[in-house]
C-alpha cells in the first residue's frame, strides 16, 4: 500500500510518500512543494495542484493523511491555507484517494506518545521509528512524514 502524507501550506506544503508491506514501512520520497512569494495567489494554488498531481501520478497512493486546520493565529494566512487545502482535497477526491485528517495533537500523540510534545521530540521519535540516520528536514516535510507514518499505523 502506498501512503501519502501532506502538511498543507501556501508557501511550503510538506509531502511524504511511504510504502507499507505487512508491518514494514519504507520511505519512497519526502520533501516540500514550494511556491514563490509575490506571485498572484491563484498561481500559487495552481502550482500546489500541479505539483501534488505529479506526486500522485508518480506514486499512485491508495490513501492520504493530512493535517487538519484547527487553530489559526493569523486569519488571513488561515484562509489562504484553507483554500490551498481545498485544492488538495479536490485533487485527492477526483482520483478516488481516501483522506484521513489529523489534528497536530493527534500526530504528536501518535508519533511521540504525547500530544503536547515539542517538534524536536516528534522528529526524534520519527527518526527512530523509521530507522533514519538523521532528523528529517525541512520541518514541513518532517511533519508530512509523521502524518504519513501515523496513517500507516491506522490501516491494515
Residues tagged active-site? 7, 67, 140
What are the beta bridge partners of residue 31?
15
DSSP code of 71? -
What is the three-class DSSP state of 39?
A: coil
Does residue 64 contact residue 97 with C-beta atoms inside 8 Å?
Answer: yes
Q: How many CB atoms lie within 10 A of CB 68?
A: 14
Amino acid at each position: 500500500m502506498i501512503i501519502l502524507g501532506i502538511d498543507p501550506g501556501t508557501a511550503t506544503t510538506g509531502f511524504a510518500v511511504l510504502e507499507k508491506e505487512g508491518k514494514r514501512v519504507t520511505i519512497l520520497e519526502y520533501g516540500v512543494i514550494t511556491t514563490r512569494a509575490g506571485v498572484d495567489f491563484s498561481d500559487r494554488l495552481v502550482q500546489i495542484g500541479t505539483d501534488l498531481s505529479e506526486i500522485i501520478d508518480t506514486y499512485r497512493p491508495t490513501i492520504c493523511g493530512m493535517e487538519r486546520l484547527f487553530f489559526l493565529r493569523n486569519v488571513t494566512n488561515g484562509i489562504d491555507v484553507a483554500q490551498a487545502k481545498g485544492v488538495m482535497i479536490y485533487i485527492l477526491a477526483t482520483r478516488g484517494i481516501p483522506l484521513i485528517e489529523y489534528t497536530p495533537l493527534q500526530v504528536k500523540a501518535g508519533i511521540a506518545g504525547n500530544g503536547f510534545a515539542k517538534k524536536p521530540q516528534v522528529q526524534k521519535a520519527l527518526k527512530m521509528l523509521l530507522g533514519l540516520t538523521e532528523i528529517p528536514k525541512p520541518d514541513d516535510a518532517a511533519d508530512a512524514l509523521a502524518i504519513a507514518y501515523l496513517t500507516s499505523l491506522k490501516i491494515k
